[in-house]
Amino acid sequence: MVTFKPTTDLAKAARYTLSNMRPYYEQYSVEWDAAEIEKMTAELVNLDILLAGEPVGVIRLSFDSEGCYLRDLQIDQSCQNQGIGSQAIAEADRLAREHCLPLLKLRVFKNSPAVQLYKRQGFSLTSEDERIYYMSRPVA
């Protein structure tokens, strides 16, 4: 069973991001480290993703008048492709509804396998640049 709880260890959450995003950071010469990720994400809504009570990832959100912005969705590589990402998106959708917001928004590297997850979850392309897709979908 997948559950969510506020993150109490931002350093551990940052390690999920660094581990999963390292190939993209290297490819695009993004120089981030765990301490920088921790500092940058401290102002976001950080939720641990738990599988059977054990942390397996993190979801980070921010809210503005336009919608809920899915800033980060990271799942331990050993737990990917088990539907956890879909459940995390459902949680983001629930929180957006709770805040009476109309859209879920995100950005994703074009070459990320997560693009397919987001398309399956109803996200569509709103814009793009040379390396990133900007996507959104109405809140359910």
Q: What is the pLDDT of residue 33?
A: 66
CB 65 within 8 A of CB 59: no
Residue 55, domain extent? 2-138
Q: What is the pLDDT of residue 35?
A: 75
Residues of the chain predicted below pLDDT 70: 33-34
Name which of 14, 2, 23, 49 is nearest 131 in CA terms. Answer: 23
Q: What is the pLDDT of residue 126?
A: 97
Distance in angstroms (rounded) separating the CA atoms of residues 4 and 40: 21
Q: What is the pLDDT of residue 77?
A: 85
Assign residue 120 the CATH number of its domain: 3.40.630.30
Number of separate domains in the chain = 1
Q: What is the pLDDT of residue 21?
A: 78
